[in-house]
Structure 1
Amino acid sequence: MKKYRKIILVGILLLLIGIFIHPKKVIYEPKIIGKVIDLSENPIENATVSRIEKKHWKNKEHGYYESEEFISESVNTDGNGNFILNEKSRIDWIHNIPFVLPLAWCNTGFEVSKNGFKTYRTEFDDYSEYNENLNACKGIEFKAKIILKKL
């Protein structure tokens, strides 16, 4: 009888783990195409454009969720001031809730920096778009024209 209880208990444990840890949630980051210019509309070469993402985790001591921004991708502008941050995706293996609703809004953030110029950083709603396919940023492309001011 104890053997059957162990088998049932292991089965229930595997079912619960499968609800919370599985590779179903794919997070997409949109494609960003843009041009970096100065105030006189001259292209800025070799400016660094960095995609900013948020990393989320649960504070084990206090039990609340924390987040931190990090730079996930960086590119330099070409001779004409153009840059491309390609669409990318990652798999979120661990879910906090078992049933996640599909997202319809795509938001992105990035910053542009160059020596001798003031760093430009986007705000939360600067690049935001509703995606009718309800899959957040999959297939979304933002076009940006960034003007850097000299220090």
Structure 2
Amino acid sequence: MKKPVTKVILGIFLILIIGLFIRPQKVIYEAKISGKVIDENGIPIKNASVSRIEEKRWKNKKWGYEEHSEYKSQTVKTDQNVNFFLDQKSRIDWFHTPLDLPFAWCYADFEVSKEGYKTYKTKFDDYKSYRKEGCYACEEIEFKPKITLKKNSR
């Protein structure tokens, strides 16, 4: 008689633990990125490509470990005024811990390239820790970098 009761209690406990970690309600926002691109002499660079870099993760089925790679999820060109703008993006995060909820880690990875210049890849690892009702991660956060490209020495 004790074994079925123990199994039921253990099953309920397991469901509660899983419920803490796997929920589709959490939305992760990628920050807005807007800025300018210039060369080393301060001259504006028109039509430079600016790409948001994101990370894709998957499990290696043969060996069982997690792999990841970077990919360009958005690409824009600088306009006549050498400005660029990458919109805020969002995605649903299915796996997270209760510790994620009150904090926001905000970052933006992107690269800037133009023929005749060295590609500039930057990572902002700025941590924003705030709690705002109904907001997660980088919602309403915007990075405004001024990127300087160096000419190729060829």
Report TM bin, short chain. 0.7 to 0.9
For residue 6 of structure 1, what is the aligned residue in structure 2?
none
Whose strand fraction is larger, Structure 1's or Structure 2's?
1
Percent identical pairs in the alignment equals 54
* 2:145 is the alignment partner of 1:144: yes
For residue 4 of structure 1, what is the aligned residue in structure 2?
none
Runs of 4+ in 1 over 3 A off after TM superposition: 18-22, 97-100
Distance 2:65 2:139 in 1: 29
Q: How many residues align?
A: 134
What per-residue deviation string (whole Å, max 9, x for no partner) do you get for residues 43-73 of structure 1? 1100000000001122222222211101000
Distance 1:100 1:72, change over 3 A: farther
Distance 1:148 1:138 in 2: 29
Distance 1:98 1:37, change over 3 A: closer
* 2:54 is the alignment partner of 1:56: no
For residue 128 of structure 2, what is the aligned residue in structure 1?
130
Q: Give RMSD over aligned pairs.
A: 2.5
Distance 1:78 1:35, change over 3 A: same
Where do 5+ consecutive residues of structure 2 fail to align?
1-11
For residue 4 of structure 2, what is the aligned residue in structure 1?
none
Letter in 2 for 1:132: Y
Distance 2:126 2:84 in 1: 19
Cα deviation for residue 34 of structure 1 reads: 0.3
Q: Name the TM-score, length of structure 1 as normaliser.
A: 0.76
For residue 118 of structure 1, what is the aligned residue in structure 2?
118
Query: For the Cα contact (< 8 Å) 1:36–1:82, is it kept in 2?
Result: yes
Where do 5+ consecutive residues of structure 1 fail to align?
1-11
